[in-house]
Amino acid sequence: MEMKGLDYVVLNQGNAQLTELYRAHIGDWPKFFKMDTLSKAGFVASELLLKKIGERRCEGDEFIQNRAIVLFGSTASLCADRNYQETIQDKDNYYPSPALFVYTLPNIVTGEIAIRNHWRGETSFYVLEEPDAAQMAFHLACAFQDSVTESILAGWVDSRMNDDFQVFMTIIRKEDAADTERLAGQLQLIINDLNK
Amino acid sequence: MDRVIRCIADNVVSPLGTTSRSNYDSVKAGRSGLERYESMGNITTPFVLSRVDRKVIDGLCAELGISGNYTFFEKFLLCSSVQAVRDSGIDASSDRVLFIVSTTKGNVSLLGQPEEGIAQERVLLAKAAREVTWFFGNPNSPIVVCNACISGVCAQIEAMRALCTGRYDYAVVIGADEQSPFIISGFLSFKAISDEPCRPFDKDRKGLNLGECAATVVLEASDVKDSGWELVCGAIRNDANHISGPSRTGEGSYLCLMEVRKECRRQELAFVNVHGTATAYNDEMESIALYRAGLIDVPVTGLKGYYGHTMGAAGIMESILSMYAVRDNTVLATRGYREQGTTYPVSVSSETRECKGSEFIKLLSGFGGSNAALLYRFVE
């Protein structure tokens, strides 16, 4: 049986690109402007991917409602951490902000995407040393052990600085994960693209 | 027969003790680690915190042979995991052993206060976890679960799944967080922190307290029947509602509870160990989820009045204490609770109660709309 490669979206070109893409292709989710870079990057990439595969947002479709979101990254929320740290570093300029603090958790991006799509499945964020295709494939295959998970929005999301990020998003179906080695091979192709 | 996932060793390091047993005995005796602080660093608002004495950790490191340039957070992880691994008798340097670390903020304090001899890149969570695997000489790449407050339950679920694949024989699951001004100021800015010891599920609850703890479980995959604690199943679900507030219908927690109920034998369910942070919204949400899941009559117990919210350690430490409690036929008192303060009357008590049964459910929820539950069963 011939299996086609995974559909995916890669973004890595600065914050201005994210706002531009948002205005050009999304436009109906003002929460976007509140998000930190990590969430913006993950959100925009997920929206573009869903457009690309032609999936409609569909309330009441259990198959889609149960979709899991499993993301990986190496810097986690470091960028948001630095932004928040600035607000508490100086005694004379101390203004801790809840709007910044909430983004100091990397799994917030999984929540942002779940809210947008009304997905009530599993959401997970794993921190790895680097985008290791074999390690990601193993943990994605593990996620299908959940009784309701039939598909996963999976990806790599990293942001070191406010204007510096790397993200890919792809959809993995249960059958894609049956052969973990093959899945790792497919993820490696995407990672190669990410590093271009 | 399917692989069974069994907990073969555990450890808790906290202000209440440096072993699981001493922690359990302290809690049963009603001791709490919570103390009031008037200020810390640039923070000038009073708050209540359960903080580990750094001298105790340094002493423990010396006793356990943990030397080298480690941050407090790394020492904390090691103090707990070295004891648990020693008690398990496993060879942690084997490639059949997977290390999973559960934390929310790891070495984040390095951002505000770099340390001599510590590479700044250890602020990256996987780099800090690597220090742990190096200590044990383990060749596998560590994985860090960073799912806000539910991380400790997620890490155990991930360990269970990884073991079920057959690739690993053991998983060492370690959870810890350091309560630095970073986290405390953030929760204060949310107005989520109480300046009094917290009151889970009470009508006068004013918010949460933060706390420090490191906890470890060593899980084993086995094909043979044996006596001990089995991790039966777990689930992670999102509310898809709000990034920093729980769902009004308790959606994600409800879905998690329904999932673990599938494997749960109701007459064997001793209690549900809840999140019970003592914020107005969390406890109300949990009462709704328990009601909707048909578990409103099951005894409920929360440990935040003893430890505060220990973030990355919470799911692991609270699971371990629940194991000790079930074996002791005890529902631990929910310290701080006085009077019913949720729409649905959960079965919570300020007194220690007797219970029967061999199973418990551990429930957690957190930022990002995340929820998680797992079911443990003791097999005679």
- Using an 8 Å CB-CB cutoff, list chain B residues near A102: 190, 243-244, 367
Q: Is B368 close to A69, i.e. CB distance below 8 A?
A: no
Share of chain B above pLDDT 90, in %: 98
Q: Is A107 close to B185, i.e. CB distance below 8 A?
A: no
Tell me if residue B121 falls in helix, strand or coil.
helix
- Containing H/E element for B36? strand B34-37
Give me B131's structure tokens. Answer: 């220090």
CA B332 to CA B348: how far, in whole Å?
Answer: 10
Judgement on whether residues B274 and B321 belong to the same structural domain of the protein: yes
Q: Which string of DSSP letters, residue by residue, matches B82-103?
A: HHHHHHHT--TTSTTEEEEEE-
Judgement on whether residues B208 and B238 belong to the same structural domain of the protein: no
Q: How close B159 comes to chain A (CA, Å)?
A: 10
Contact predicate A68/A123, CB 8 Å: yes
- Containing H/E element for B27? helix B20-28
pLDDT value at residue A1: 44
Judgement on whether residues B290 and B366 belong to the same structural domain of the protein: yes
Domain boundary among B171, B193, B222: B222
Domain boundary among B179, B201, B222: B222
| pLDDT range class, residue A3, cuts 50, 70, 90 | low
A89 part of contact set with chain B, CB < 8 Å: yes
Judgement on whether residues B138 and B36 belong to the same structural domain of the protein: yes
Contact predicate B354/B333, CB 8 Å: no
Judgement on whether residues B44 and B159 belong to the same structural domain of the protein: yes
Judgement on whether residues B212 and B270 belong to the same structural domain of the protein: no
| pLDDT range class, residue A196, cuts 50, 70, 90 | confident
Judgement on whether residues B242 and B319 belong to the same structural domain of the protein: yes
A128 part of contact set with chain B, CB < 8 Å: yes
Judgement on whether residues B258 and B181 belong to the same structural domain of the protein: no
Mean pLDDT of B168-187: 97
pLDDT digits (tens, 9 = 90+) for B296-313: 999 999 999 999 999 999
Judgement on whether residues B102 and B244 belong to the same structural domain of the protein: no
Contact predicate B356/B270, CB 8 Å: yes
- Containing H/E element for B272? strand B269-273
Backbone angle region of B69, left / alpha / beta, with phi > 0 → left and psi within -120 to 50 → alpha: beta
Q: Is A117 close to B240, i.e. CB distance below 8 A?
A: yes
CA B316 to CA B176: how far, in whole Å?
Answer: 9
pLDDT digits (tens, 9 = 90+) for A42-90: 999 999 999 999 988 766 677 788 999 999 999 999 999 999 999 999 9
Q: Which amino acid is at B138?
A: N
Q: Which amino acid is at B119?
A: A
Judgement on whether residues B75 and B211 belong to the same structural domain of the protein: yes
Asked if the model's pLDDT at residue B246 lies above 90, the reply is no
Pick from A84, A123, A145: CB nearest B370: A123
Q: Is A105 close to B189, i.e. CB distance below 8 A?
A: no
Does this model's pTM top 0.95? My answer is: yes
Contact predicate B331/B321, CB 8 Å: no
Strand partners, B174: B101, B216
- What is the residue whose two structure tokens read 């801790």? A96
Q: Which string of DSSP letters, residue by residue, matches B40-89?
A: BTTB-S-EEEE---HHHHHHHHHHHT--SS--HHHHHHHHHHHHHHHHHT
Domain boundary among B182, B206, B222: B222
Q: Which amino acid is at B323?
A: M
Domains and CATH numbers, chain A: 8-194 (3.40.47.10)
The rounded Cα B324 to chain-centroid distance in angstroms is: 15
Mean pLDDT of A118-145: 97
**Least confident interval from B163-167, B244-248, B274-278, B319-323:** B244-248
Q: Is A85 close to B112, i.e. CB distance below 8 A?
A: yes
Pick from A88, A127, A143: CB nearest B146: A127
| pLDDT range class, residue B290, cuts 50, 70, 90 | very high
| pLDDT range class, residue A195, cuts 50, 70, 90 | confident
Q: Which amino acid is at A64?
A: I
Contact predicate B311/B370, CB 8 Å: no
- Spatial strand order of the sheet with B34-37 comes to B34-37, B47-50, B210-211
Mean pLDDT of B195-207: 97
Which among A32, A54, A52 has a CA at the least distance from the CA of A42?
Answer: A32
Asked if the model's pLDDT at residue B45 lies above 60, the reply is yes
Asked if the model's pLDDT at residue B221 lies above 70, the reply is yes
pLDDT digits (tens, 9 = 90+) for B112-163: 999 999 999 999 999 999 999 999 999 999 999 999 999 999 999 999 999 9
- Using an 8 Å CB-CB cutoff, list chain A residues near B237: 120-122
Mean pLDDT of B18-36: 98
Asked if the model's pLDDT at residue A2 lies above 50, the reply is no
- Using an 8 Å CB-CB cutoff, list chain B residues near A117: 240
- What is the residue whose two structure tokens read 């009045």? B305
pLDDT digits (tens, 9 = 90+) for A99-128: 999 999 999 999 999 999 999 999 999 999
The chain-wide mean pLDDT, for chain B, equals 97
pLDDT value at residue A16: 79
CA A37 to CA A34: how far, in whole Å?
Answer: 10
Judgement on whether residues B148 and B257 belong to the same structural domain of the protein: no
Contact predicate A113/A121, CB 8 Å: no
- CATH number, domain with residue B120: 3.40.47.10
If one compares B227 and A12, the residue with the highest pLDDT of the two is B227
Contact predicate B62/B362, CB 8 Å: no
Neighbours of B343 (CB within 10 A): 10
CA dihedral B149, B152, B157, B159 (to 10 degrees): 140
Burial (Cβ within 10 Å: 0-12, 13-18, ≥19) of residue B105: buried
Judgement on whether residues B138 and B40 belong to the same structural domain of the protein: yes
- Containing H/E element for B321? helix B314-327
CA dihedral B284, B285, B288, B293 (to 10 degrees): -140
Instruction: Give the domain range for residue B338.
Output: 228-379
Domains: count for chain B:
2
CA B312 to CA B246: how far, in whole Å?
Answer: 19
Q: Is A111 close to B368, i.e. CB distance below 8 A?
A: yes
